[in-house]
Every structure is written in structure tokens, then in C-alpha cells.
Amino acid sequence: MASLESLTEDLLVRIYKGLASDADRKSWRLVCRDFHRIDALTRSSLRVLRVEFLRSLLANYPRLDTLDLSVCPRIDDGAVAVLLTSRGSPWAFPRAAASSLSPPGRDPLAWTRGLRKLVLSRSTGLGHHGLEQVIRACAYLESVDVSHCCGFGDREAAALSCGARLREVKMDKCLGVTDVGLAKIAVGCGRLEKVSLKWCMEIGDLGVDLLCNKCVDLKFLDLSYLKVTNDSLQSIGSLPKLEVLALVGCSLIDDTGLQFLGGGCPLLRVIDMSRCNGISSCGLVSVAKGHEGLVQLNASYSLTECSSILLRCFKDLKNLNAIKIDGARVSDSAFKALSNCTSLVEIGLGKCIGATNLGLMRLVSGCVNLRVLDLTCCHSITDAAIFAISDSCRNLTCLKLESCNMITEKSLYYLGSFCLLLEELDLTDCGGINDTGLEYLSNCLELSCLKLALCPTISDKGLGHIASKCRKICEIDLYRCNGIGDDALAALSSGCKKLRRLNLSYCSDVTDRGMEYLGQLEELWDLEMRSLFNVTGVGLMALAAGCKRLADLDMKYCENVDDSGFWALAYYARNLRQINLSHCNISNMGLCMVMSNLTRLQEAKLVHLNKVTVEGFELALRTCWVRIKKVKLLAALRFKLSSDVRETLHSRGCKIRWD
Amino acid sequence: MSSSPPPSSAAASPSCPKKMIALRSSDGETFEIEEAAALQSKTLENMIDEDCAGTPIPLPNVTGKILAKVVEFCSKHAEPGVDDESLRAWDAEFVNVEQATVFDYILAANFLEIPTLLNLTCNVVADMIRGKTPDEIRKFFNIKSIFSPEEEEEVRRENHWAFE
């Protein structure tokens, strides 16, 4: 009789590949030796959590093409050196000893040849020496991400330039990189297709020019927030294959520069020029006229108004599906012009002066394919506009109505009747919303993200309606919703099992009972619960014990949580990566337990811990200095902490913010 | 029943009789299958091309019971004018059988290289595994080979701490 065990290996691989979720694949590998081997031979991507396991994982997974070390603490030159030696080093990583599950004779460095993508984002402990070693060892590497390694500079850029096969480099926030470093990368990595240099503020026109000269295959370029001028745009215009260009916050660019762009980059599809103070409609016209294939145009907070010439240009862009003109002044005739662009799927009109009911009705009469609409701070719109929007745009998936305070429950009735594909709704600060409205809204069964911050008029009843029907909810924001209490959390815990992010800050009616309910939400990983006075150690313990995946916790001002809660946190919340304990009554011992036991903690805000002494901070920081990456401390502590602690933290790449 | 649209790709014109291929199972039973349906199987397609389809094709790896069902599957999928939804529903009914039979289908589909049947049946097994704990998987599929206690501990630890 046929059984699962009678299937050949390739058939088992087929079945294994049908398991999409990480949990299922982990269950699979724990079933028996054969299944474990299938997993080892098929898994192609790993996100490593602890460095002790790294060596054996790399030895046992020969088909890895992607390695993500961004959440793995203690990645430094020493760790790299150990990984790249061909002998085992049991003294450094005890678990690397040969296990009966890994076949003997396998070359421990085989992984370097298979690796194509390496993520080292936030690996602040790594230096140029280690980086160069790993880039050289992984000869076929195509993509490397070192974003947010703020201390990285030209020496690290030189290390990256050793990767001749690199096609993708992400160096966002590598603050020390200058034109010299960029030049090295441009010369060394001629095949680059995707380069991201956001926030690398030392880079200027010279570096960009060299990059554009040497890397002619560039398809994606992000120079946001750099102090580049029109000269850079002239160089960029020469790139024949560029498809996506991001220049957010480049305040030194103006319309002259955009003209260069208008005449070049024939394949340009996506351009993001938001927050560029120097440009105007005129410059955008030259870009639009030159690129009939344009698909997305983002000019948020750059334009003071949208000229009629520009609006006419949009009509000629047959493939245009997203426009963002947040912050611009618009008129009803502008909306009429936009309504001719029937291919539009996404429109951003946040803080647009002059957005009226009439204008919007005109807009949606033409743009019936709209899926994403941002009307943040369009104060003058009312239920009538929402009716028109819901009726025309039945495929709406995302609607942002922050601060549209004339919206009432009628709008939610329309949305609940017509826009059944709605996934994301932002009703922050919409004072006209109430529980009845939420009942109407609960017909939108696809709802996954709901923002109700600053809505004092909603209560547990309204949230109960949502929780009972909208099973796909992943994110809810209830910041300062005074009417919310424990019963809302009870409803959420039974109805919204997929909840991942929750903001309960200042919902002071929540007590330990509510926390217990939250403990039943197994998927919860981001919780903000500032200033919940009625929550004590008992509540925190219930939360920590239940929400095993909790990674991000903000409990600032939760002054009534005592040490019993923090001990429980230290014991249970092993996946915690970021924590804000400012103004909490944690003791020396409690802080030490938390900082030492939570081995995945990377970021901690520890301001105004009144019960913790200087010695307490010293001890706590010493226990975690090998892995903590960002810490916020009271400014007064600056001169009281020993130089030992401060220097070690600095040398490990940890960023200290003094409040 | 609504009338089905005319076949878009005719395996044979209405005037000629449809060509039948004979198959013999491992236990000696003979089955007849239309050529159009047989072409769903790459193995049979190769044999037809090489013109060995004169005498009944012996299939030593497939029993009569299973072969009958495979012929039924291929015939249904070769039928013209069936809409996607009803085909999906039919497929769901087809695999609504006991575990051992599903594995027999997989082995037969693999041997005969029938991609549609192979995908369908492998997905069914993946569905059976989804959401179960390792223990439940072992019980459900009656898996005998296991880990030593040390090995299991190591894998468990890796699952919990090492990666995601």
C-alpha cells in the first residue's frame, strides 16, 4: 500500500514546495530524518537569528542563495573570519560540532559559491576588513544590502567594490560614504543595475557622474536626500536603461535639471520627486513630455500648484497609473482634467488645498479604476464625496481620510455597501465617526489595516462589530481612543487572530484583564501601549507569556508595572527586538534581567528610569553591549557612565542618543 | 445542461472515428483511452509518437484500479468545453479519496508524467500537512522513521532559536 514514505525524493520536494508558510516548513523538518533532508536540500533563503547557529546552518543548507543577517547580533569581523575558515572551531561556536544530521565530508565553504544575495543591514559591528573578506569569498554574489550601517564609509565602499558580479547595492544611511567611495564602487562593479544611496549625504555630483559613466546598465537609482544639483541630472539623463529614479528631498534640483531628464532616460517608468522645493509644474512637464511610457509620478509636497499644461500632459501618458501631488493647490477644473486619465489606479491628494466635493465627484466619474486614494487633511470633503467615490470606484482597496472631520457614519455605510474589496482605511482624527459607522464598515470583509486614532467617539461596541466579521485584520491603531477598554480587546482576541500590529496608547481604561486577552493573539509582534496606568505586572506577564512573537514593544509611562512584569518579559519575550521602557518603574535588577536575557534586543529606549541607578545602567549595558545597536539614555547620564562602557558601545557601532 | 461550444482543437474530425489507445495494467486488465486524453501523459505521448501504440501498452507500475481512475482523469481533462469552475469542482471530488489512493495517484502521475494530475495530488498532500504539528503529521501519515532524541532536540532548538 502506498504511503508518504514510498514517494521518491523529488516527489517529496514537490510536496514540500507546496508548503508556503514558515511554520509549516518548520513542522515538516521536525517530522523525520528524510523530511529534514528534503528541507535542507530545498530551502534557499535563511534569516538567521543567532550567530551560534550560523556556521552549522551554512554547512547544512547547500542550496542557499539568500542569507539575511540583519537581525543576527554579533556579526563582526571575528564572526566572519570564523565562518570563512575551512576548519571547524568548536571553541568559538560550540554548536558547530559535527551533528549526526549533517552528512560528513561536505565542504563547509560550499555556501560561499551558492550565495547570490546577502543582507547585512544594521550589521553595525562589521568592519571593512570583514566585509571585504566575505565579498571576496562569495564570488557569485549579486546583491548586497548594507543599509543603516551608519558608520560605514569609503573603506567599506572599497570592500564592496571587490564584488565584480554585483548587480544590486543598497547603502542607505551609510553616512560616511563620499564621492571617493562611490567612485570605487562604480569602477569595481560595472554590472550594477540597482543602486540605493538614500541619506548618504556626503555624496555629490562628482560621484553620481562617475557612477552614470561607468555603470551604464543602471535600471534603478535612489539618490534621495542627497545634495546633488542639476549637474547630476545631466549625468543621469545619459543612462539608457534607467527605469526607476528617486530624488526625494533633493532641494538643490530645479526645473533646469528636469529638462536634462526630459531629454534622456528613454525607458523611465517611475519617478519620485517628492519634497523637492526647487521644482515646479514646468519642470515636470518636460519630464512628462519626454516619457510617454511613464507609469508613476510622485511630486508630493514639491508643487505649489498643478498647472493646466501639466494636467493636459497627463492625459497623453497612456500607461500612467499613479500620481501623487500632495500639498499642491488644485481646482475643480484640475480634477476634471485628471478625470481624463482613466488608467489611474492611485492618486495622492493629501493636504491639497482646494479639494472639494465637486472636484472629487468629477475626478471619480472618470477614474473608475482607482484603487488607492489619499485624501489626508482634505478638510472640506463630506459624505457626499465619499458616496461618489464608493459608487464609482468599486475596486477601491486603500482610502486615507485622516482629519476629514466632516465624514460621518454615512460614509462608512457607503463604503460598506459598495467597496467590498477595501483593505486599508485611515480614519485618524475623524471626529464624526461612531460605533454605528463601524458596524456598517464591518461589511468590508477584506479589511486588514484600520486606523482609528484620535476618535474619541468609538467604543468597545463598535470595535466588536469589526472584530466579529473582519477576520483578516492585521493592524489596528486606537491611539487615544478614550472609549476603548478591555471588552474591545476581548473581541479582538477572539475575532482577529491575524492581528500583528496594535496601538493602544493612552487607552487608559485597559486593565490587566485586557492584557490577558491580548496574550491570546499569537501573531502580535508590534504593540504600542503607552501610559496604560491600570496595567500592572500581572498584565505584562500575561502578554509576554502569550505573545511569543512580540518583537516591538512601547510601554512608555506604564508606571504601575512592577518588576514581576519585567521579569516575565525577560523570561518569555525572546523575540523582542525593540523596547521603550522610558518612565517605567523598573528596578536595577529588572533592567539587568531584561537587557541580558533578551538576546535579540537591538534597540532600547531607557530614559527617565527613576529607580535605576548609574551602577544599574552600567551593569545592564555591559550585559548587552555585544549586540545592542541603538540606545536612548538621559543626557545627565552622559558624564556619569564610565568611559569604558561608552567606548565599547561606540566601537561596536552602537548609536547612543542622549535625551 | 447547457450546450458546450464546439471543440477548438479537434483531436479528430467528426467524420473519422476517434483513435483509441489500449493500456494494460500490472495485473493484466486492459483499458482503452482516446488518443487526445492519452496525450495528457508525456510518457504515452512519446510512445504514440514512436508508433508502439499498436498492441496494448504495458504499464507495470500501475494497477488496474488506479489505471481506471487515471484514464477517467485524463479523459475528463481532454474534454472540450468544460469551464474552469466545474473542472475544479470535479478535480476536488476526484481527490476526495483515502490517503493511500492519493499516493497511488501521485506515483502513477509521476510514472506517466501527467503534470496536471501530479500538481493536483501533490497540492492535496500539502493541504493535508498544512497547520499540523510534527507529531500530528507523523500520526496522520503513519511515518515510522524518526529522529534519535538528540537529533530531535537539535532540530527543535534550531526551529525555535536559529532562523526564520
What is the three-class DSSP state of B118? helix
**Chain A residue numbers touching B161 (CB-CB < 8 A):** 49-50, 53, 574
Q: What is the DSSP letter of A76?
A: S
Q: What is the DSSP letter of A264?
A: S
β-partners of residue A655 are A630
The size of chain B, in residues, is 164
CA distance A191 to A217: 6
In angstroms, what separates the C-alpha of B128 from chain A's closest C-alpha? 10
Residue A521, judged by CB atoms within 10 A of its CB (0-12, 13-18, 19+), counts as: buried
In angstroms, what separates the C-alpha of B101 from chain A's closest C-alpha? 7
CA distance B70 to B105: 8
CA distance A297 to A222: 15
H-helix or E-strand spanning residue A39: helix A33-42
The residue assigned the cell 496595567 is A535
Give start and end residues of each alpha helix (H) in B52-148: 64-78, 84-94, 99-112, 115-129, 134-141
Is B161 in Cβ contact with A47 (below 8 Å)?
no
Share of chain B above pLDDT 70, in %: 87
Dig out the grid coordinates for A83 from the structure.
565562518
CA distance B85 to A61: 40
**Chain B residue numbers touching A26 (CB-CB < 8 A):** 159
DSSP string, A166-213: --EEE-TT-TB--HHHHHHHHHH-TT--EEE-TT-TT--HHHHHHHHH
Residue A341 has pLDDT above 60, yes or no: yes
- Closest by CA to A149, choosing from A182, A181, A177, A122, is A122
Contact between A458 and A481 under an 8 Å Cβ cutoff? The reply is yes
Average pLDDT, chain B: 84
Compute the average pLDDT of residues A25-36. 91
What is the three-class DSSP state of B34? strand
How many CB contacts within 8 angstroms connect chain A with chain B?
111
**What is residue A540's predicted lDDT score, i.e. its pLDDT?**
96
Is A47 in Cβ contact with B151 (below 8 Å)?
no
- In chain B, the residue whose alpha carbon lies closest to the alpha carbon of A100 is B151
- Res. A93 pLDDT band, cuts 50 70 90: very low
In angstroms, what separates the C-alpha of B72 from chain A's closest C-alpha? 20
Dig out the grid coordinates for B61 from the structure.
507500475
**What is residue B54's predicted lDDT score, i.e. its pLDDT?**
67
Of B104, B145, B164, which has the smallest distance from its Cβ to A32's Cβ? B145
- Digit-coded pLDDT (tens) for A198-223: 999 999 999 999 999 999 999 999 99
CA distance A633 to A193: 41
Residue B53 has pLDDT above 70, yes or no: no
- Res. A512 pLDDT band, cuts 50 70 90: very high
**What is residue A429's predicted lDDT score, i.e. its pLDDT?**
95
Compute the average pLDDT of residues A154-163. 95
CA distance A360 to A372: 14
Of A2, A26, A46, which has the smallest distance from its Cβ to B100's Cβ? A2
**What is residue A547's predicted lDDT score, i.e. its pLDDT?**
93
Question: Could you count the other beta carbons within 10 Å of the beta carbon of residue A341?
Answer: 21
**Chain A residue numbers touching B130 (CB-CB < 8 A):** 19, 21, 24
Dig out the grid coordinates for A242 from the structure.
534607467
Is A31 in Cβ contact with B137 (below 8 Å)?
yes
**What is residue A87's predicted lDDT score, i.e. its pLDDT?**
61
Is A6 in Cβ contact with B107 (below 8 Å)?
yes
- Digit-coded pLDDT (tens) for A181-190: 999 999 999 9
Residue A108 has pLDDT above 50, yes or no: yes
The residue assigned the cell 546583491 is A143
In angstroms, what separates the C-alpha of B120 from chain A's closest C-alpha? 10
Taking each helix axis from N to C end, the angle separating A255-262 and A281-290, rounded to the nearest 10 degrees, works out to 0
**Chain A residue numbers touching B147 (CB-CB < 8 A):** 32-33, 36
Residue A97 has pLDDT above 50, yes or no: no
- In chain B, the residue whose alpha carbon lies closest to the alpha carbon of A102 is B151
**What is residue A160's predicted lDDT score, i.e. its pLDDT?**
95
User: What is the b/e burial string over A612-625, where b = at least 16 CB atoms within 10 angstroms of the residue's CB?
Assistant: beeebbbbbbbbbb
Compute the average pLDDT of residues A429-450. 95
- Closest by CA to B128, choosing from A186, A373, A58, A19, is A19
**What is residue A83's predicted lDDT score, i.e. its pLDDT?**
86
**What is residue A95's predicted lDDT score, i.e. its pLDDT?**
43
- Res. A96 pLDDT band, cuts 50 70 90: very low
Least confident of A27-31, A115-119, A121-125, B11-15: B11-15
- Closest by CA to B122, choosing from A19, A37, A20, A14, is A14
Dig out the grid coordinates for A617 from the structure.
545602567
Least confident of A228-242, B14-28, B33-47, B141-155: B14-28
Phi then psi dihedrals of residue A157, to 5 deg: -65, -40
**Chain A residue numbers touching B61 (CB-CB < 8 A):** none
In angstroms, what separates the C-alpha of B30 from chain A's closest C-alpha? 22
Of A4, A49, A99, which has the smallest distance from its Cβ to B162's Cβ? A49
Reported ipTM: 0.85
As a 3-state breakdown, chain B gives helix, strand, coil percent values, each rounded to 5, of 55, 10, 40
Taking each helix axis from N to C end, the angle separating A230-237 and A255-262, rounded to the nearest 10 degrees, works out to 0
Compute the average pLDDT of residues A506-513. 96
- Digit-coded pLDDT (tens) for A608-656: 999 999 999 999 999 998 888 899 999 999 899 999 999 988 888 888 9
Q: What is the DSSP letter of A474?
A: -
Q: Please check whether residue B115 touches A, CB under 8 A.
A: no
Ramachandran bin of A275, using left for φ above 0, alpha for ψ from -120 to 50, beta for the remaining angles? left
Share of chain A above pLDDT 70, in %: 97
- Digit-coded pLDDT (tens) for B56-78: 888 888 899 999 999 999 989 88
**Chain A residue numbers touching B162 (CB-CB < 8 A):** 48-50, 53, 57
Q: Please check whether residue B156 touches A, CB under 8 A.
A: yes
Taking each helix axis from N to C end, the angle separating B115-129 and B99-112, rounded to the nearest 10 degrees, works out to 150
Residues 6+ apart with CB under 8 A from A613: A588
**What is residue A245's predicted lDDT score, i.e. its pLDDT?**
97
Of B103, B148, B156, which has the smallest distance from its Cβ to A3's Cβ? B103
Is A48 in Cβ contact with B162 (below 8 Å)?
yes
Q: Please check whether residue B16 touches A, CB under 8 A.
A: no
Q: How far is CA A496 from CA A127, A451, A454, A483, A501, in A?
A: 44, 15, 21, 19, 11
- Closest by CA to A624, choosing from A73, A78, A80, A150, is A73
Q: Which residues of A touch B (CB under 8 A)?
A: 1-8, 11, 14-16, 18-19, 21-22, 24, 26-34, 36, 46-50, 53, 57, 99-101, 574
**What is residue A4's predicted lDDT score, i.e. its pLDDT?**
77
Compute the average pLDDT of residues A524-536. 95
Share of chain A above pLDDT 90, in %: 78
Q: Please check whether residue B96 touches A, CB under 8 A.
A: no
- In chain B, the residue whose alpha carbon lies closest to the alpha carbon of A13 is B122
H-helix or E-strand spanning residue A450: strand A449-451
- Digit-coded pLDDT (tens) for A311-321: 889 988 999 99
Compute the average pLDDT of residues A398-417. 95
Cα R_g (chain B), whole angstroms: 21
